[in-house]
Structure formats: C-alpha cells, structure tokens
Amino acid sequence: MGSADQRTIDWIDGAVVIVDQCALPGEHRLLRLTTVTELIEAIQRLAVRGAPALGAAGALGVALAARHGTSAADVEREAERLAQARPTAVNLAWGVRRALAKLPSGADAVLEEALVLLAEDEELCRTASGHAAELVLRETARRPLRLLTHCNAGRLATVSWGTALGVVWHLHAAGQVEYVLVDETRPLMQGARLTAWELAQEGVPYRVLPDVAAASAIARGLVDCVVVGADRIAANGDVANKVGTYGLALAAARHRVPFVVVAPSSTVDPATPSGDLIEIEERAAGEVTTWGGVPTAPAGAAAFNPAFDVTPAELITAVVTERGPG
C-alpha cells in the first residue's frame, strides 16, 4: 500500500522513481526510470501526471540527461524533448528550464536544483491549499462542508501534498468536511482511480459520481464549493484544467456555488495573455472509443478527445496560490 510519506516522484540512487499511476488503484508500485526516453514515455501514458508533478519530472529529467549526456548540446536536446512531452501544463517546461539553467555549473548543480524544486513544491502546495481552505470557509456558510472536485489534484498530482485535495486535507483535519463528491473524470478516470484512492487512504468520506451527474448535484444543492487544480493559468486569470472543468464552472456560477482554483505559482504563465492561447493536448481516439480494450463505438469511429479545457476568469471565485487569493 502507499503511504502519505511516499513522494509521488523522487530521485533515488541515480534514477527517477515514480508511483506508477497507471497501476492504481489496484496496485501501488514504484517505477524506476533511468533514461529521458523512459521518463517521456511515463509522462505520455500518464504514469506520472498532474501539473506540479510534471514540473518535478521535468527538472529530474534534466538531471538524468546531465548525468548521461556527452555534451551540453546533447543535454539541451534531451531537455527540449522532455519539455514537449505534454503541451498544456506549463510546469513541465518550467521545471526543465529551471534545472537546465544550472547546466553550466555541472550535473551535480542540476540535480541539486531539481531537488530544491521538489522540496519547494511540497511547501508551496501546502501553503497554497492552506490559503484556499481559509477562503473556502469564508465563502461558504454550511458546516461541515460538501465539496466537489474533478480529476486528481492530490498528492499524486504533486510531489507529495496536493492542491485541491490539499484543501480537503486541511479542512478534514479541522473536522469541516462532510463529504467530497469525486467526478470520475472521463475518459481516463483520474477521479475514480486516484482521487477516490487518496481520500480512502486519508479516511475522508467521498462518493464517486459520473461527470454527467455533477451539474445536477450542484443544482440540487448537494455542493457547497467546487475545488479544482490547474494546468496553466494565463495572465488574465483564465485557467486550463482537466476537460470537464469548464462545464463545472458554468454550473457552479449558475447556482452561485463558489468555484475555487488552487495551484502553486509555477502553474501561472505570465507569458500567455489569455486562455484561448493555451495549447490543449489532444489524445488518442482509443481512449474514448474503447474501454479496457473493448470497443464502445463502431470500428473506425473518429473521436474528439481534448485532455483539457479553459475556464474563463469571470467564472472563477478565486485562483489561490502560495501568495494567497489572486
């Protein structure tokens, strides 16, 4: 079984070690990755995922490249491949850049910077979610709280603490959580597989619901606050997050339910002026047209499978980072 002390991603004995998120909830197992190619493959099949964890992966990947690279140009090429492994979460390229900046000082300096980034992520996520927990308490009246979340923005999506689920950890410790409604999060089920697993581990009451039931749960007054993470926050406050987030924000706004986004500031991208300029990852059709290898659509069916969507700033009650509500 996993433990709350286990980092989702770490550097152990010269390798990147991750919790294999494709194996959960059935099995908690670690994967040891010793090359950039192995790490990219793990990122692309979502064995390691979630914006802050991808930032850590980017930095540790550059540390791997710096150890094995034969020249600076070689390491830079590997770093570029890593940065492009997934396009939407800004943290990945940010982590790569931050570690790569230390390359002139040598491979040890690159690793040291990556390890600082990991330690900071733990601290910043804890602080950001603490601020967000206070905000949620200010924005709501009913106690204990009934929360709704989408995808997985927990320990597994960060180095060790979580963002949206970090809020749950703070509120649960204060005895303020009645339950968490967990969107299953089609098509890859990060909510049902990962968020539910984390909540069970921590003893937080929860119910998994089909994504299509979330709007009516909000309309029926079963939700006091929606709390989600983010993959990229544009300069104007628009937020890219797991596909389905936008629909939740619309429903929450319609029913005057607070909608709170929590992220470390590494997810804020001042270079992207607005959400419509964020590149949205399109994933394979088979994720939508099959289930566990069994076809759920006619042979050859085309699919629209964006991994993320963009929620405009005007639908968001607050974006909260370690600096507090923005």
Ligand X SMILES: CSC[C@@H](O)[C@@H](O)C(=O)COP(=O)(O)O
Query: What SS3 state is found at 6?
Result: coil
Binding mask 217-236 for ligand X (x = CB under 6 A): ------------xxx-----
Closest C-alpha among 253, 278, 276 to residue 268: 278
Q: Which is nearer to ligand X, 8 or 289 (CB)?
A: 8
Q: How far is CA 115 from CA 37, 122, 218, 264, in A?
A: 20, 11, 41, 17
75, 82, 85, 89: residue in contact with ligand X (rule CB under 6 A): 89
162 is in an annotated binding site: no
Which of 164, 251 has the CB closer to ligand X?
A: 164
Q: Which of 258, 315, 16 is nearest to 132 (CA)?
A: 258
SS3 breakdown of the chain: % helix, strand, coil, rounded to 5?
45, 20, 35
238 is catalytic: no
266 binds ligand X (CB under 6 A): no
260 counts as binding ligand X under rule CB under 6 A: no
86 is annotated as contributing to ligand binding = yes
User: Within positions 149 to 178, which residues make up the interface with ligand X, using CB under 6 A?
Assistant: 151, 153, 157-158, 163
DSSP structural state of residue 40: H
Judged by CB under 6 A, the residue of 307, 310, 316, 320 near ligand X is 307
Q: Does the footprint of ligand X cover residue 190 (CB under 6 A)?
A: yes
Least distance in angstroms from the C-beta of 43 to ligand X: 9
In sequence order, the 6+-apart residues with CB closer than 8 A to the CB of 233 are 239, 240, 261, 263, 267, 268, 269, 319
Binding residue for ligand X, selected from 126, 155, 186, 242, defined by CB under 6 A: 242
Structure tokens, 321? 């980072």
Report the C-alpha gap between 282 and 42 in whole angstroms.
17
Task: Output 72 or 119, the one with its CB closest to ligand X.
Answer: 119
Does 7 appear as a known binding residue?
no
- For residue 72, give the nearest of 95, 96, 105, 39 by alpha carbon: 105
Per the DSSP assignment, residues forming a β-bridge with 11 are: 16
Q: Are 320 and 225 in contact (CB under 8 A)?
A: no
241 annotated to bind ligand:
yes
Q: Catalytic pick from 10, 224, 231, 238?
A: 231
Q: Which residues pair with 225 in a beta bridge?
A: 147
* 214 contacts ligand X (rule: CB under 6 A): no
CB of 137 to ligand X, least distance (A): 21
> What single DSSP character describes residue 117?
H
Q: Is 23 in the site for ligand X (CB under 6 A)?
A: no
Active site residues: 231
- Extract the annotated binding site: 49-51, 86, 190, 241-242
Residue ranges that bind ligand X, judged by CB under 6 A: 46, 49-52, 89, 151, 153, 157-158, 163, 190, 229-231, 241-242, 307
